[in-house]
Amino acid sequence: MAGALRALLLPLPLLLLLPAPAWEEISSHKSIGESCEKHAECQSTCCATNSLNPQKFCTPKTIFLQCLPWRKPEGHNCSDRTECRSDCCVRSSHSPQRLCTVKTIFLQCVPWRKPNGSLCRSRGECRSQCCIQLAEDSPNRCVPRSGILAQCLPL
């Protein structure tokens, strides 16, 4: 029992040999998830936001030893692609508002397209990729694909 107690106390004098500022730096570094203001406060030397909340927290480094800032998930308003996790910030409707969107399996940003029933000039404007004139004297509208081969057919 006394031998085990001596083994536990042995490292303590070694820590006391360190200069006071070095000991304070070791004990004052914050762990991942603790709030911070500067990179130097964290064990990982990464202090960044991790949500829409502007408060910063200690975050881990990437495998390339870089600190990554938090980026917005799909559906949040954005003004630039760098604000989004997916690197995709596209117009969300007829208005100039833009949202973070997902990428396709080919790593392309999915653009916003008009829903069925909306006026259109070309098929690329429509979510269904179908823009046709429903009657001789009517304007073109986005319509759902229909039929066995999922074609653009009038309703």
In 3D, which of 89, 45, 51 has the Cα closest to residue 70? 51
In 3D, which of 112, 110, 63 has the Cα closest to residue 87? 110
Cα separation, 123 vs 24, in Å, equals 66
Q: Is residue 151 part of a domain?
A: yes
Residues 85 and 99 placed together within one structural domain of the fold: yes
Q: Is residue 134 part of a domain?
A: yes
Cα separation, 74 vs 52, in Å, equals 13
Number of domains present in the structure of the chain:
3
pLDDT at position 74? 85
Q: Is residue 37 part of a domain?
A: yes
Element (H, E) at 134: none
Cα separation, 110 vs 114, in Å, equals 13
**φ, ψ (nearest 5 deg) of residue 39:** -55, -40
Cα 81–chain centre separation: 10
Provide the domain limits for residue 56: 28-70
Mind spelling out the 3-state secondary structure of 74-133?
CCCECCCHHHECCCCEEECCCCCCEEECCECCCCCECCCCECCCCECCCHHHECCCCEEE
In 3D, which of 133, 84, 71 has the Cα closest to residue 110? 84
Those residues of the chain that have pLDDT short of 70 are: 1-28, 93-95, 148-150, 153-155
pLDDT at position 8? 45
pLDDT at position 154? 63
Last residue of a domain, one of 8, 41, 70: 70
